Structure formats: C-alpha cells, structure tokens
Amino acid sequence: MDATNSFILLGALLLFSSILASMASARFGFPLLLIFLAVGMLAGQEGPGGVEFDDFKTAFLIGNIALAIILLDGGLRTHIRTFRVALKPALSLATVGVMITAGGIGAFATWLMGFDWYYGLLLGAIVGSTDAAAVFSLLKGSGTRLNERVGSTLEIESGINDPMAIFLTITLLEVISSSQSLFDPWILLFLVQQFGIGAVLGVAFGFILRETLRRIELAEGLYALLIASGGLLSFAIINELGGSGFLGVYLTGLVIGTAKNRGTFHVLRIMDGLAWLAQAGMFLILGLLVTPSAVLDQIVPALILAFALLLVARPIAIWIGLWPFHFNWRETTFIAWVGLRGAVPIVLALFPMIYGIPGAERFFEIAYVVVITSLLIQGSSISLAARLLKVEVPPEPEPRHRADLNLPIEPRLEMVQFVVGEHTDADSAGPERMPFGESVSIAGVVRNLALRKPDTGFTFQPGDIVLTIIPEDMIGDLSRFFSGERRKKTALVEQTFFGVFSLRGGAKVADLAAVYGIRSSEELRESTLDEAIKSLLRNPPVVGDSVDLDRVRLTVREMEGPTITQVGLKFRQ
C-alpha cells in the first residue's frame, strides 16, 4: 500500500472511530473532545496503533487553521444583542483576567518547578486562556440554557481571549530568545499593533464578505465555503500584516452573522460540520503528537499546576475582572468554574518548539495534563454546576426543523416544522386555537406516516408533525404552543422558575400593589414593572433575573431588545 493511501486510510479510520466513540460522550456525559484526544493517543507511537508522528510544524499549521475555523464559526453564532450585557465584562476577562491568570500561574510554576521567572510566565501565558472550541461545544452539548449574562460572557470571553494569550506567549518567547527586557517600549507597540490591526481589518473583511453575500447568487452549499475561505483569507492577511489573525477572524464572523440573508441562513448548519471537523482533526493530531511516557514524567507537578489554575488562579482573576460589573456571587463562581482549557494551550505549547527554546517539550507535556484535567473535571460538571449555582433558565422550546423559503418579500417567510407534544396548548386543539390566527399557513400535518390537510373539525394529536409557513418572529410563540410544556426530567419547570402568574412588563406597580397588597415606595408605585425591575437590578436585565418586591418575587420572563415584555410573579416562601 502506497504512503498516500495509507495516510487516507489512517485519517479516515481515526475520524470514524472517534465519531462512533462519541456515543459514549452523549450517554455518560464524557467530554467529546477527550474522545478525539484519546483516539489520537491510542493510535500514536506508544499506543496500539504505533503511528510515529513528531512533525510539530505540521501540527502547528493544522492547529492554526482549525482554530481559525472554530473562531469564525463562533463569531457567526454570536448574536450582537449579547454585547448589550456581556461585552464589557468579557473584554475585562479576556485582557486583565488572562494577564492575572498567567501571572499567578507563572509565579506558582516558578516556585514549584524551579523555572526561570520568564519561563514560568511563559507557561502561565500558555495555559492562561480558555478555549473557544471547548466552551462552544461543551455549552452546546450540555443541553443547559444559561442566563444570557453568564452564557454570553463565557462565549465572548472564550472567543476574544486567545489573542491576549498568543500576544503574551510570543512576547515572552521574543524576550527569552533575544535576552530583551519585558518592560521595553516595543512591547506596548506590539500590543497596539496586534489588537489594532486585528480589530480594524477583521471588521472590514466582515463587511466586505457580508456585502458580497448580499449581491451574488450561488448554489446553496457554496455560501458556507465562501465564508470559510473568506475567513481564512482574513486570518492569513491580518497575520501577514502583523495583526492578531485570531481576533480578526472572530470579528469577521461576528459582522457576517449580524445580517441574515439568503447566504447566511444555510451557512450555520454547514459551518457546524466544518467546525466539528476542525476540532476533531486538531485533537486527533495533538493526540498523535503526545508521548504518554513523557507526560507521566511530568504528571505530579502538572496536576498540582492544573488544580492551582482551577481552584486559585482562575477564580481570583474572574472575581477581580468581574468586580466592576456587579455580577452576583453565583454568576461569578460559575464563570470561574467554566474556565475550560482545550486545544489552544496545546497549540500555544508548540510555539516554544518552533522557536527552539531549550526544554520546550516540558511546556507541551504540562499543557497536555492541564487540558485533560480541565476537560475531565470542569467539562463533565457544567450542568451540575449550573443547577447548583442557579444560573440556568428553563430551555426555550424549539421547532423540529426550519428552512428559509428565499422569497423576495418582507417579512422573510420560513417553512417550519413543529411536533405536537403531550399536555401542551396544541394537544387536542384545532388550528383555530393557534397564535396569530390566519397569519399562519398550515401546509400539512404528518400523522401515521401520511401527509394530510387539516379539514373542518380537525384537532392536533401528540406526535403530529405540523408543517407551517410563517414569518420568523412568530416561531417562538408557535413553539410554545406546540411543545412549550415538553421538558426533560432534569430541566426546570417554567412555573416553578418564573411563577404561575405572567404579567406584562408595561403593567404599573401601583396596580400590582392594589391587587396583591404589596408595599412599595412612592417612586416605584408610579413605575412600570419594566422600569421597576431595571431600577432594582445593578446590571442590564436578562431572562431569569429576579427582584423581590415586598412579599412577591418578580422574574424576567421575556424580553424584546432591552425592554422587559413579560414578568413572572410568585409569592416568596
């Protein structure tokens, strides 16, 4: 068998085996990314596969391409509205937080392992940032819906903190290799250059690609490839011009994702596959690259360092970074706990090898242990931590399937499929009971493997698949109508979380006080519930936020932009 075919056979076999093994991840809550690492290690030179792979430059190249795709996909999925509540705290964590984490771990590593001070800081910089691939995939895979303030902060932080970690790593490598001082003026100039060029060109490329998508007609599957190639183009050009390509490609995706059009609607499903392929390939390569016996030689100090990062350095950095933004202790503790490390520290650990730093292998082995420890402990406990710290909110019901009809009319229409759930508003109800009445067009109902058209006297039954043609802004209400009460056993029940009563955000506190005998200040009595909740909170409100008003608890149930439209009410125990 020739070398080319052997390479294809091995790569396909590893990927195929990893995907099959991922069933264990779904069943037992085992972090999926560890499956890919484990398969790579088993196929490596000290595993049953016996494959010898020590090409760090190739691994570095694959890692950079994969991270660029993952960050592009993350930017596409980041809603610009999340910046309302999360941009400032996420920026604080991605800059100040990373530096505090790197400095703390650097000082500890210097003491624990006898490193030179710069070497200790270099190790801190390598493991100092959370990983976008790990955070995006594990938050999505956990099935837990976090309140918007927490979830958005974690996602934005993980997407934009890589540039700071890379900046610190490269700066320290330049200082070590050239015997310069860490306090030379060129470092500040380098920081401005990296972030300035990365931000400006990343946004510029995003606008160019977004306008290109609006003006051209392509086959449906080519839109995602155009965005992926355009994202990689921006990544490479920004790097070539001395900017941060990782920041640039994330912002490119973010700008493209702010506008829905015929190109971007179908992109997310294809990009999801590309992002998974990038993650799988990257973790498999990194698994092949590691030598388990060498890792075992560093296991004790590496584990001590991992737990110091997990239990001391990250929490201190998060509490300091979030202090100005008035997060409550539950939210801060959860964000500190979900500081997931993934491929980024391992890829950064390849930098010292590329630079030819003496003892560079030690950084790689320690980073590997830190990543595995983080994924095992933090990655497998996301749902439990969210539940214990009460930062989750009831999951929103979702349609079975949705597709853009690509019609030249406004508002844009979609073909949306809903499944009728038991004990929902739709159960045993007729089409006339649906929200929005005649504005909803029913194309058909699938029942008992047959498609039928609702006629006079027709009622929905559990298990029916209802095909509708509706504007996008109706999807949420119809999802609640058809499947609003269907919940996993472990999920929060809406009435328990929000309360039995639902009130309009525009209702007056005075009216509420008159009905329920609630005492409040004269200033609050003249306010709406929307205004009262905002005045009692210290942060912009998100769904799930609650305030106590005398003997009742008011919880934000629904929002439209910054306006609270629905409020849940329940009596305090």
Cα atoms in the 13 Å half-sphere on the side-chain side of 304: 9
Measured distance CA(12)–CA(165) in Å, rounded:
33
Give φ, ψ of 516 to 5 degrees. Answer: -105, 5
Tokens of 167: 């900046």
Measured distance CA(366)–CA(353) in Å, rounded:
14
Amino acid, single-letter form, for residue 38: A
CA angle 258, 132, 202 (to 5 degrees): 45
Residue spans of alpha helices (H) in 142-266: 148-160, 162-178, 185-215, 222-240, 245-257
Q: Where in the chain is the domain with CATH 3.30.70.1450?
A: 401-483
Dmax (CA) for the chain in angstroms is 85
Spatial contact of 372 and 37, defined as CB atoms under 8 Å apart: yes
How far lies 426's CA from each of 217, 435, 442, 474, in Å?
39, 10, 14, 15
Measured distance CA(279)–CA(282) in Å, rounded:
5
Q: Reduced to 3 states, what is the DSSP secondary structure of residue 89?
A: helix
Tokens of 429: 């109800």
Which candidate, 162, 156, 144, 160, places its Cα nearest to that of 81?
A: 156
Residue 426's pLDDT is what? 85
Helix (H) or strand (E) holding 464: none
Report how far Cα 141 is from the mean position of its chain's Cα atoms: 10
- pLDDT less than 50: residues of the chain: 26, 28-29, 486-491
Spatial contact of 529 and 429, defined as CB atoms under 8 Å apart: no
Report how far Cα 398 is from the mean position of its chain's Cα atoms: 18
Report how far Cα 514 is from the mean position of its chain's Cα atoms: 44
Tokens of 241: 């011009």
Instruction: Determine if the peptide bond prior to 411 is cis (ω within 30°).
Output: yes
Find all residues with CB under 8 Å of 437, minimum gap 6, and list them. none
Which candidate, 272, 372, 274, 408, places its Cα nearest to that of 38?
A: 372
Task: Give 47-53's long-range contacts (Cβ < 8 A, gap of 24+).
Answer: 47/292, 51/10, 51/288, 53/285, 53/288, 53/289
Q: In CATH, which of 3.10.180.10, 2.60.40.10, 3.30.1330.100, 1.20.1530.20 is domain 53-389? A: 1.20.1530.20
3-state secondary structure labels for all residues of 226-256: HHHHHHHHHHHHHHHCCCCHHHHHHHHHHHH
Which candidate, 545, 300, 20, places its Cα nearest to that of 532?
A: 545
Spatial contact of 355 and 114, defined as CB atoms under 8 Å apart: no
**What is the second-level CATH architecture of the domain 401-483?**
2-Layer Sandwich (3.30)
Supply the pTM of this predicted model: 0.81
CA angle 33, 375, 55 (to 5 degrees): 55
Residue 260's pLDDT is what? 65
Q: Where in the chain is the domain with CATH 1.20.1530.20?
A: 53-389
Measured distance CA(199)–CA(438) in Å, rounded:
47
Q: Where in the chain is the domain with CATH 3.30.465.10?
A: 494-571
Tokens of 343: 């491929």
Residue 233's pLDDT is what? 95
**What is the second-level CATH architecture of the domain 494-571?**
2-Layer Sandwich (3.30)
What is the Cα Rg of the chain in Å?
Answer: 26
Residue spans of alpha helices (H) in 97-131: 98-113, 117-127
Spatial contact of 100 and 92, defined as CB atoms under 8 Å apart: no
Chain position carrying tokens 């058909």 = 444
How far lies 81's CA from each of 21, 183, 253, in Å?
37, 38, 15
Measured distance CA(436)–CA(427) in Å, rounded:
17
- In the chain the first and final C-alpha atoms are separated, in Å, by 73
Helix, strand, coil shares of the chain, percent, nearest 5, are 60, 10, 25
3-state secondary structure labels for all residues of 34-70: HHHHHHHHHHECCCCCCECCCCHHHHHHHHHHHHHHH
Residue 236's pLDDT is what? 94
Which candidate, 193, 207, 203, 192, places its Cα nearest to that of 248?
A: 203
Angle, to 10 degrees, between the axis of helix 360-377 and the axis of helix 299-308? 60
Give φ, ψ of 226 to 5 degrees. Answer: -65, -45
Chain position carrying tokens 């050009």 = 237
